[in-house]
A and B are shown apart, each in its own frame.
Chain A
Amino acid sequence: MEIITGKAYVLGDDIDTDQIIPAEHLVYSLSDPEEKKNYGKFALSSVPLAQAGLPDGNIPFVKEGCHESEYSIIIAGKNFGCGSSREHAPFALNIAGVKAVLAEGYARIFYRNSIDGGFFIPFELTKRVIDSIKTGDEIDINISLNSFTNKRNGESYSLKTLGDVKDILDAGGIFNYARKTGLI
């Protein structure tokens, strides 16, 4: 049984890749250990303030001067990660310490990048939860049971099964998966 525990950061619908990591920040090295921290620092920095950390908003995802967030689980509405193909977007969330995203649905390039790059687990929700979970709530995700619990009120919710992509996630990304299965 595998459990992911963390604090929730709640967002709305259609969070696009420009909000996740604005284009002006796409210039930093993705491999230099120091420079890549910038991606964590600016993760979700273009989300309009009123929508940043629902229901109240105005909660920065990453505190000034930090590159890691205190929130490791993102809860979102529809079409998370729409827009650009920039892998910098799931990468930025990964650098900020995100372990899982629970969204109603994903834009496909973002979804694919999260899995093939092994950045975090993109779970699909079975119903809208952004109105019942608050930023800061402690969440337990039970991967083998495809469910999660909000520790604040004990409410539990089911998640869609990961399906075919579970093998790639378990391997830790497309390269490890391809090696494991003898493709490369």
Chain B
Amino acid sequence: MTLVVNGASRELRDGATVVDLLSAMQLSPERRGIAVARNGDIVLRADWVNTTLAPDDRVEVLHAVQGG
């Protein structure tokens, strides 16, 4: 399936979860500092493992950067 991750199209296998996406992005789900939003709403860390992504989902994967 195709979805939009951080503004860019990305292919993931059907039924992939948030944890699968993070793994594909080479991000460890255990690592502090990452947050995920799906279609404008936060996906809590505890729900990453059982949140199944759907085609055309808009996913934002965020971390802390210099600012403010």
Is chain B found bound to chain A in the same assembly?
Answer: no
Which A residues contact B (CB, under 8 angstroms)? none
List residues of B whose CB falls within 8 A of some A CB.
none
